[in-house]
Amino acid sequence: MKSINQTNIQTGSDRNALARFAQLAIAGAAFAMLAACGGGGGGGSSNTSSANTSTPTGGVNLQVVSFGDSLSDVGTYAPVITASFGGGRFTTNPGEVWTQKVAEYYGGTLSSAYLGGFGQPLAASTGLGYAQGGARVQDPVGEGHAPVGTANADYSAATTVPVTQQLQNYLAAHGSFNANQLVLINGGANDIFELESTIQAAVTADVAGGMDPATAIQNEATASLGPVAQTFAGVIQQIVAAGASHVVVSNVPDIGQTPLGVTGGSSAQQLLTALSSVYNAALTQAIQGLGLPASKVIQIDAFSWQDGINASYQTNGFTVSNTGTACNLQSMAANATAYGTQNPSVLNGLTPAQYGASFASALFCSPQTYTVAGADQTYMFADNVHPSTHLHALFAQYVEQQVAKSGLGK
């Protein structure tokens, strides 16, 4: 990695500030007014259990259970979002995310285990998709969660139930796992986002004291993210101990090679890549340290896979790699800014621009807000960090191939 000196390390405070703006803006009066027609759609309520006795494309019938964050969320927030914006998942809606594609490959479907947020209390549904957008590994206050002390903070914005609690919720409802299930789990990216500014500050101090920048990043990232990886590995251990025979673990993609990283400049890009790498290395080491058997735990290297697709994006059917987004984020933010300007009562202390910026997310994206027609298939990324429908489909195929290599299905 190239050297990063003290003066060119980028701060993540602006990005985190926008996330906090979203917590307030989305829960404002305008949102309630937009959603007045009621919830529905998007998240689905069908059970992931498949009654299909025929042999699916994957060669074996498996019931998929998923845990994680926005990359795996099949529609926790859809009841409000879909009704108001036509979105509901963190991708180019109405497209599916990779966990849904994998479930279909093995003969089932995947819908949300809980529905709510953005003003609606979480309510248990019938699905087995426990992943929630914004979720961290253990901290309940994730990306997009309302600040502690906010009225109804646990559901006034994103609910961000952490991965540790997601597993406990599953076990409370179902007791255990079985050999006919495929468990999909990811996590850690939101911890990187939340801890980024703290790590940056520590690195800056280390470099000012004479430490080599690369060493400083390695040391501080390990100190902050190592415990997160250990906790995440512990969740995987609990899943195996509860009877799971097939657990697919996806590491963190290369955040530096997302539009967020690219637009942040070379220093920010290098830092985000480094943080992703350090976390992934710590996770691999933690899984090995716990002695989790490769026969039961299938590790997916999303980091290297995404970088490989980016390097040959045109061969994979894309016209835009990580230099643009399928969702017209600028237009989405501008429209919301204009609404906030015309209706100042919805701002809740924010400026119209801050209010508008909170809506520049794939969660609110639908075909009406695509950058160009068909962008869900031609762009790699829906927004600054989330994959498009096409990229999700390709990742699902990669996961299916790795599962087959483990000896399960085809």
pLDDT in tens, 163-176: 999 999 999 999 99
Per the prediction, the chain carries an average pLDDT of 89
277: left (phi over 0), alpha (psi -120 to 50) or beta: alpha
Angle, helices 389-405 vs 302-311, to 10°: value is 130
Residues 6+ apart with CB under 8 A from 291: none
The better pLDDT of the pair 48, 338 is held by: 338
Gap between the Cα atoms of 235 and 179, Å rounded: 18
**H helix or E strand, kind and range, residue 238:** helix 213-241
Question: What was the pLDDT predicted at 25?
Answer: 43
Name the helix (H) or strand (E) containing 250. strand 247-250
Among residues 147, 78, 110, 43, which one has the least CA distance to residue 364? 78
Who has greater pLDDT, 52 or 221?
A: 221
The pTM of this model reads: 0.89
pLDDT digits (tens, 9 = 90+) for 258-312: 999 999 999 999 999 999 999 999 999 999 999 999 999 999 999 999 999 999 9
What is the domain class of 6-405 according to CATH? alpha beta
CA 84/CA 133 separation, integer angstroms: 18
Cβ atoms of 251 and 182 closer than 8 Å: no
Predicted local confidence at residue 1, as pLDDT: 35
Stronger pLDDT, 235 or 20, i.e. the higher one: 235
Q: Is the pLDDT reported for residue 183 higher than 80? A: yes
Cis peptide before 387 (omega within 30 of 0): no
C-alpha separations of 396 from 114, 139, 172, 186, 305 in Å? 23, 28, 28, 13, 11
Residue with tokens 């609606």: 120
* Domain residue ranges of the chain, discontinuous segments joined by +: 6-405
Q: Distance between CA 391 and CA 409 in Å, rounded?
A: 23
pLDDT of residue 397: 99
Is the per-residue pLDDT at 2 higher than 70?
A: no
Residue 288: φ, ψ to 5°? -65, -40
Q: Quick one: CA dihedral 52, 245, 48, 85, positive or negative?
A: negative
Q: How far is residue 24's CA from residue 329's CA, in Å, rounded to a whole number?
A: 19
357: pLDDT strictly greater than 60: yes
C-beta separation of 133 from 150 below 8 A:
no
Residues 6+ away with beta carbon under 8 Å from 85: 34, 364, 365, 366
| pLDDT at 53 (0 to 100) | 61
